[in-house]
């Protein structure tokens, strides 16, 4: 593949959500490093006045931090035990950020816990798969409350569910109650599926941005709704000159179209001999992007590809394209631990 190509986006929902949880935690690592650097500079300026105070606070903070870290590690181990029953423990281990601090581990635990709860609610509404979530209080509550308890994590209930719950709160004939309970289960399933679709779409946008940046590309800013609304994203390497790759995402067909474009001025619209080289260069790099995306659960199945020079490289007025400059992009997130998943 050298010229324009089209690929179908195929997402593994659980893999995508777990990868996104790892990326968000890694971003917290990077943010923590930046905050530490700012605090260090501030403390250095105030060193002579507050040295003893800082030492006392640091000692107390260290003790509290060690206790909190132990609790976070225990929670992570418990979540691993739960994840083994869903068959995703290896992925959770692989996505845990390297050198995770207390803040990032807590953040990661919260993220993967949400995914586990969502998957349990979708595929195991009875709770048999993860019995730890069935407490004594659950057993004492009514059937409606037990069902609703499994979907509190995605957010507020839609009106349809609220109306069903209101109806079921009254004393009803057994047949009427059974029909409403069946409808409640159906609406809960639809709600969870809708929530998961939205979460996967937002996670896919995060994975795309993260993957491109980790591979060293300068990336145009884009919204987390890219996979919901569709749109165009441009990216390039700092030494590509006036060449970029344009990715056009079609949310209806779940496809992404990639093609090399050249930024031109009004007086520079002639076909360049470098166009072919630019397409060949992108051809050599695309498999790496494809493999990196797949590692996060977001597959690219190529359905159309043209050879370099088969169609002219599209020329786009420079003032209609993002201005990246020539500096190399900074890594915005700490790298995740490398691991090969079967």
pLDDT in tens, the chain (342 residues): 456 889 999 999 999 999 999 998 888 776 655 555 455 555 454 544 445 555 545 555 566 778 888 888 999 999 998 888 888 999 999 999 887 788 888 889 989 988 888 888 887 655 554 444 444 444 445 778 877 876 766 667 888 888 998 998 888 898 999 899 999 989 988 988 888 999 999 999 999 999 999 999 999 999 999 999 999 999 999 999 999 999 999 999 999 999 999 999 876 667 778 888 999 999 999 999 999 999 999 999 999 888 776 788 999 999 899 988 766 655 544 444 444 443
Decide if 183 contacts 164 (C-beta within 8 A): yes
Decide if 18 contacts 112 (C-beta within 8 A): yes
Longest alpha-carbon distance in the chain: 80
Report CA-CA distances (Å) from 59 to 45, 63, 72, 218, 221: 20, 6, 20, 42, 42
For residue 138, being part of any structural domain is answered with no
Decide if 56 contacts 297 (C-beta within 8 A): no
For residue 147, being part of any structural domain is answered with no
What is the signed CA dihedral for 11, 12, 18, 23, rounded to 10 degrees?
-30
Q: pLDDT for 52-102, tens place per residue?
A: 555 545 555 566 778 888 888 999 999 998 888 888 999 999 999 887 788
For residue 151, being part of any structural domain is answered with no
Tokens for 322, please give them: 């993002």
Nearest to 182 by CA among 133, 212, 143: 143
- Counting the structural domains of the chain, the total is 1
Tokens for 95, please give them: 């996505």
CB atoms within 10 A of CB 171: 5
Helices in the chain by DSSP H: which ranges? 13-45, 47-86, 89-95, 102-123, 136-140, 143-149, 159-168, 174-214, 226-229, 274-295
For residue 163, being part of any structural domain is answered with no
Q: pLDDT for 297-326, tens place per residue?
A: 999 999 988 877 678 899 999 989 998 876
For 88, phi then psi, to 5°, come to -125, 15
The parent domain of residue 121 ranges over 14-125
For residue 39, being part of any structural domain is answered with yes
CA distance linking residue 167 with residue 304, whole number of Å:
52
For residue 40, being part of any structural domain is answered with yes
| Interstrand relation of 314-317 and 255-264 (parallel, antiparallel or unpaired) | parallel
For residue 203, being part of any structural domain is answered with no
Nearest to 242 by CA among 330, 327, 323: 323
Give the percent of the chain with pLDDT over 70.
Answer: 76
For residue 96, being part of any structural domain is answered with yes
The pTM of the full predicted model, rounded to 2 decimals, is 0.78
Nearest to 65 by CA among 109, 28, 29, 102: 102
- Residue 338 has a pLDDT of 40
* CA angle (26 as vertex; 122, 211 as ends), nearest 5: 80
């Amino acid at each position: 593949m050298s010229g324009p190509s089209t690929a179908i986006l195929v997402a593994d929902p659980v893999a995508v959500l777990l990868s996104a949880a790892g990326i968000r935690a890694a971003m917290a690592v990077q943010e923590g490093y930046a905050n530490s650097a700012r605090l260090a500079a501030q403390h250095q300026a105030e060193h002579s006045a507050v040295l003893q105070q800082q030492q006392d606070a640091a000692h107390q903070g260290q003790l509290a931090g060690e206790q909190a870290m132990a609790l976070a590690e225990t929670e992570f181990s418990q979540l691993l035990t739960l994840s083994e029953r869903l068959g995703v423990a290896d992925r959770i281990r692989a996505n845990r950020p390297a050198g995770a601090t207390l803040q990032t581990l807590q953040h990661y635990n919260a993220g993967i816990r949400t995914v586990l709860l969502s998957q349990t609610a979708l595929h195991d509404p009875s709770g048999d798969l993860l019995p730890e979530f069935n407490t004594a209080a659950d057993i004492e509550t009514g059937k409606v409350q037990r069902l609703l308890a499994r979907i509190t994590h995605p957010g507020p209930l839609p009106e349809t569910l609220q109306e069903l719950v209101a109806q079921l709160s009254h004393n009803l004939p057994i047949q009427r109650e059974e029909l409403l309970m069946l409808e409640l289960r159906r609406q809960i399933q639809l709600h969870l599926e809708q929530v998961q679709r939205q979460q996967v779409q937002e996670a896919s946008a995060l994975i795309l941005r993260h993957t491109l940046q980790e591979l060293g590309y300068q990336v145009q800013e884009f919204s987390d709704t890219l996979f919901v609304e569709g749109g165009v994203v441009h990216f390039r390497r700092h030494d590509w000159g006036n060449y970029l790759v344009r990715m056009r995402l079609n949310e209806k067909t779940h496809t992404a179209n990639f093609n090399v474009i050249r930024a031109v001025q009004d007086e520079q619209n002639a076909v360049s001999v470098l166009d072919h080289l630019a397409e060949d260069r992108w051809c050599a790099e695309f498999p790496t992007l494809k493999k990196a995306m797949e590692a996060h659960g977001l597959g690219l199945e190529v359905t159309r590809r043209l050879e370099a020079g088969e169609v002219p490289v599209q020329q786009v007025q420079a003032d209609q394209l993002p201005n990246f400059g020539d500096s190399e992009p900074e890594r915005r997130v700490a790298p995740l631990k490398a691991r090969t998943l079967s």
